Amino acid sequence: MKKYLLIGVSAFVLGAGSMAYVSQHAMAAATPKANTYRMLGLFGDVLDTVERQYVTPVDDTKLIHAALDGMLTSLDPHSGYLDPEGFDDMRDQTRGEYGGLGLEVTSEDGVVKVISPIDDTPAARAGLKPGDYITAVNGDSVLGLSVSEAVKQMRGKPGETVTLTIAREKADPFDVKVVREIIKQKTATAKLDGDYGVLRISGFDEKTTDEAQAAFAEIHAKNPKMKGLILDLRRNPGGLLDQAVGVSDLFLEGGEIVSQRGRDPRDVERYNARPGDITNGLPMVVLIDSGTASAAEIVAGALQDRKRAEIVGLTSFGKGSVQTVIPLRGGMDGALKLTTARYYTPSGRSIQKTGIEPDLEVASTKDEAQTIANHAYQFSEASFKNALNAEEGKVRKAPHAPAEAPPDTFDAKKDFQLARAEDVLHFGSVALTPKLPKPTAKLAEIYTKAKVAEVKAPTPK
């Protein structure tokens, strides 16, 4: 039985204690187990009542699938039940070819939220952004639906047009028409930008490590004397754990990349790099933003902790958990997607909810700088009410003005974060790179004052 380890996605063991203590331990365990059986009986009673008395006939299978999904999604935002069709879709996606729009989505309070559009897909070309809410598909509301149910409505025959109703902050709801395509996702591409190479990785499927190595080899052949490499992980929603390890391994000569720690403190699995850096020690900078999640955060965290690269951009999403996809009856009954572990960077830090903080914080636009100053939790793992807790005492950075944003003289058609990454390579480090004036964030002051006033206000009686 193949298990997929996802970080962007257990076995149930029944045992008994020592027979010498059966009178004490069996009595202690009897009440919880009896209560479990009673609740399962309650579920059967409710299902029977719905079958007999609901206003229209119901589909038992759909009801039970929905109950399974509801049970799992109550645990955390990334656990869930995949019905057989959904499990097939997941396998297609991890293979890097599937039909659809090219969106990575999740669910927040019953609303479908975009984690990231995938590069060069219909969704990306239509201008969808991380943090957008999808409220309807072809005029039919998806509010309250599970992610898998909403995705089913978005997928279909290639060539057909899908109308998505989008809710975006500071904008009225609007419709976007997107034409379905067969998504042949190439997750790694590279280009030369002057003396520097730029390796873009948009996700982590089964082919990513090989594609990244081939893409770098291609630009290195064009310019063997390139002076540095920028690894662009912005808007990368993650994917397969083994591919995050594989990509990190391309740039490290050895040592730990990431560790995975489960419920049992003794359940620790470590992933190490093998000798061999495909760049031969070329200076590196990694670009991240709030859409950099899970597997992409593993890569950024490993290269940062191992002092292999400095990080430029914005604090990442903060998904520090691992999901195991467990097929049921070989996939005939679908699969469980269950959070089974947290991952830790080489220095031993969990970034669950907190994210990877850049060495040089740079907003891509002035509007983005203002958003961060007012809503640090607008789009991150910490915004989910039932997200797995962060390590005790750790919190995501509060609303603040980013260290840098594009000055008025910067060409708006260019990529400011990329330009600053090249500056870091040019000057040799973040410490040596001349800093720009900190952007003004007037609304942050209003926000802070409002919060202070709220705290100081007398309690209504």
Active-site positions read 294, 305, 319
DSSP 19: G
- The stretches of 257-357 forming alpha helices (DSSP H) are 295-305
Q: In whole angstroms, how large is the CA radius of gyration of the chain?
A: 24
Contact 137, 163 (CB under 8 A): yes
Q: Strand 111-117 to strand 133-137: parallel, antiparallel, or no bridges (unpaired)?
A: antiparallel
Question: CB of 297 within 8 A of CB of 289?
Answer: no
Tell me the two tokens of residue 218. 């291609």
Distance in angstroms (rounded) separating the CA atoms of residues 218 and 214: 6
Contact 270, 245 (CB under 8 A): no
| Cα–Cα distance measured from residue 244 to residue 117, given in angstroms and rounded to the nearest whole number | 19
Q: Where do we find the tokens 């999904």? A: 69
Residues 6+ apart with CB under 8 A from 183: 97, 98, 99, 100, 101, 102, 118, 121
Sequence-distant (≥ 6) Cβ neighbours of residue 141 within 8 angstroms: 135
The residues near 138 (Cβ < 8 Å, ≥ 6 apart) are 153, 162, 163
Amino acid making up residue 347? S
Per DSSP, the three-state class of 421 is helix
**Token pair 């952007």 in the structure block, residue:** 439
The answer to whether 101 and 88 have CB atoms below 8 angstroms apart is no
305 vs 198: CA distance, rounded Å: 21
DSSP 334: -
